[in-house]
Structure 1
Amino acid sequence: MFVVVGLGNPGRQYAGTRHNVGFDVIDYLSYKHNIPVNKIKFKALMGEGLIAGQKAMLVKPQTYMNLSGHTVLEIQNFYKLDPEQLIVIYDDIDLEVGKLRIRGKGSAGTHNGMRSIVYEIQTDHFTRVRIGIGRPQRGDLGDYVLGKFSKEDRELIDMTIQRAAEAVEAMLGKGIQEAMNQYNG
């Protein structure tokens, strides 16, 4: 089984914000594969089904971004998952708006949700799908990531959310290397 975790913040006020693109990808996968993400377990909304012939669990932690690792650790311990079975999708200010980057391992960088996951599960050897949201030209970074996209950026991000979902499908069906070859860039 693969566990696909989209990072974001719970609550209507955060819907559609830059920080919630991970949730948006989970919602898209949920819709596309008819996997309701409506069970509450491990401090998360979850759903299970098949994607590309593989059993997959879609997860939206409800702990707020900075504590996402609590959910991931509980799932990992309960299901005895190897880190290679984990895919985390999240926003990245270090990538241009709409850029997609897949990696099989790596540091958490400046992302607090990723820092929480790496700290809790004690490894950075898991797959991550980073979605570029760009950096603010000026102003507070917190306000920026919790803000909404401009109309132009929203159109680009919506396409990137679909590409990120396709990348997850490719990972589950063909492996991470094939997904990286096809979707990085």
Structure 2
Amino acid sequence: MVKLLVFLGNPGKVYARTRHNVGWMVAEHRHPQARWSEKFHGLVSSDNSTKLLKPSTYMNESGRSVRACMDFYGYAIDEILVVHDDLELPFGTLRLQKGGGLGGHNGLKSIRAHIQSDQFFRLRIGIGRPQHGSVASFVLERFTPDEEISLPLVIDLAEKMLTDAYSSLPVTNTLV
């Protein structure tokens, strides 16, 4: 059973609507009335028996926040589900899985380094790959106007997959 939902993103208004912050966008949509408190190098809230965590470190230090929360509550690795952007999936494709490659995602690498495992559940939200230019710049850019139109549907699908996650893993859905 998932006891800790981790939503990855970067702090600060400049990153608020960027591709790398799609995890935080899901948290804000799914839990609009959540009361977030600062703890564990992040923002923490609750949804019934599930803890919610938005690490407020930058992406490449997300693992510090996850580890601190895990240690405090005594969560096991298989009780964690991380919601994050994924370059390896086309925009609008979502995949719920346990473990797997990290695809160069610095937030996931940090979590793996701090919890000493990659066998946590993940909701991968496809943001696509840049056709040219650097990946680092691409993930910190806003979505294209066409993607912005579809983004609410992608976030709705992510919310539905999280709701369904408690009964069926792994799952893949494509919206666009």
Give the alignment's TM-score, normalised by structure 2: 0.93
Map of 1:9-88 to 2, 5 A cutoff? 9-31=10-32, 34-36=33-35, 38-50=36-48, 55-88=49-82
Q: Which residue of 2 aligns with 1:7?
A: 8
- Aligned pairs for 1:141-180 (under 5 A) are 141-172=135-166, 174-177=167-170, 180=171
Q: Which amino acid counterpart does residue 42 of structure 2 have in structure 1?
A: A
TM-aligned CA deviation for residue 107 of structure 1: 2.5
CA distance 1:35–1:176, shift in 2 (3 Å) = farther
> Would you identify which runs of 4 or more consecutive aligned residues in structure 1 move more than 4 Å?
none
Q: CA deviation at 1:176?
A: 2.5
Residue range with higher mean Cα deviation, 19-28 or 99-108: 99-108
Distance 1:10 1:89 in 2: 16
Give the structure 1 partner of residue 104 of structure 2: 110
Say if 2:88 and 2:103, in contact at 8 Å, map to a contact too. no
Structure 1 pair 88–106 and aligned structure 2 pair: CA distance change class (3 A):
same
| Secondary structure of the corresponding residue to residue 70 of structure 2 | helix
| SS of 1:184 mapped into structure 2 | strand
Query: Over aligned residue pairs, what C-alpha RMSD do you find?
Result: 1.4
Unaligned runs of 5+ in 1: none
Count of aligned pairs between the two proteins: 173
TM-score by length of 1: 0.88
Structure 2 residue 173 is matched with structure 1 residue 184? yes
Deviations along 1:77-126, one digit per CA (max 9) or x if unpaired, are 11111111100011111111111011112232210100000111011111
Amino acid at match of 1:46: V
3-state SS, counterpart of residue 85 of structure 2 = strand
Going by fraction, where is helix more abundant, 1 or 2?
1
Structure 2 residues without counterparts, runs of 5 or longer = none
